[in-house]
């Protein structure tokens, strides 16, 4: 049985940073409307809190992807389980992710969505584990850089558990 032993990022720190990111996005996209694309399921809580801090017309859409491999290691081969509901052609798109680890998932998604001719496309991630990166992805907004620990909470799971923790914790066996 795994347990969450340490709080890596507490609730107040998350809230503060998400507010700052929302303000930055509001400034950068001033005068435009934005389509937030959430990657299910991990990004759901971050997307919903971030969206409330973006003071622009915003729409949501969601994708579900699975990477072939074990639950903690991605393989780089990505399968789309749920595609977007709407076309993104000509729209300003921001992909919202929970965490970038190897970068393989986002590298695939970014290139795949770019082919659909959005007006612009950016990536926003709450967490970044730079030490694990295998492919470089152009990330526009990063909440926190974290060490190579397996984290849960604020949308992130282990075996579908812990998503509802209001903080980011480190899971230890």
Point out which residues bind ligand 5GP (CB under 6 A): 42, 67, 74, 97-106, 150-152, 156-158
Going by C-alpha positions, the residue among 20, 17, 19, 22 that lies closest to residue 34 is 22
- Measured between alpha carbons, how far apart are the two ends of the chain, in Å? 7
Residue whose entry in the numeric block shows the structure tokens 């003071």: 55
Question: Least separation, in Å, of the C-beta of 27 and ligand 5GP?
Answer: 27
Q: Exposed e or buried b for every residue in 47-77, given b needs 16+ CB within 10 A?
A: bebbbebbebebeebbbebebeeeeeebeee
Nearer to ligand 5GP, 32 or 131 (CB): 131
Report the distance separating Cα 74 and Cα 168, nearest Å: 21
In the bound state with ligand 5GP, the residue whose beta carbon lies nearer, of 119 and 134, is 134
DSSP codes, 21-53: HHHHHHHHTTTS-EEEEEEETTTHHHHHHHHHT
Measured in residues, the chain has a length of 173
Annotated active-site residue in 98, 101, 107, 128: 101
- Closest to ligand 5GP by CB, 42 vs 143, is 42
Q: How far is the CB of 147 from ligand 5GP (least distance, A)?
A: 10
101 catalytically annotated: yes
Q: Considering the complex, what minimum distance in angstroms separates the CB of residue 152 from ligand 5GP?
A: 5
Task: Pick the closer one to ligand 5GP by CB: 61 or 157.
Answer: 157
Provide, rounded to whole angstroms, the least separation between the CB of residue 135 and ligand 5GP. 9
DSSP 130: G
- Active-site positions? 101
């Amino acid at each position: 049985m795994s347990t969450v032993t340490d709080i890596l990022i507490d609730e107040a720190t998350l809230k503060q940073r998400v507010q700052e990111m929302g303000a930055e996005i509001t400034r950068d996209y001033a005068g435009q409307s934005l389509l937030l694309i959430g990657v299910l399921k991990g990004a759901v809580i971050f997307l919903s809190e971030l969206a409330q801090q973006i003071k622009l017309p915003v729409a949501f859409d969601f994708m579900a992807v699975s990477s072939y491999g074990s639950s903690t290691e991605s393989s780089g081969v990505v399968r789309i389980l749920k595609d977007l509901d709407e076309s993104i052609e000509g729209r300003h798109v921001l992909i919202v992710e929970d965490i970038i680890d190897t970068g393989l998932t986002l590298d695939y998604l970014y290139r795949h969505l770019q082919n659909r001719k959005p007006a612009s496309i950016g990536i926003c991630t709450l967490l970044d584990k730079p030490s694990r990166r295998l492919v470089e992805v152009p990330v526009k907004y990063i909440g926190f850089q974290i060490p190579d620990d397996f984290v849960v909470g604020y949308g992130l799971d282990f075996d579908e558990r812990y998503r509802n923790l209001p903080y980011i914790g480190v899971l230890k066996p």
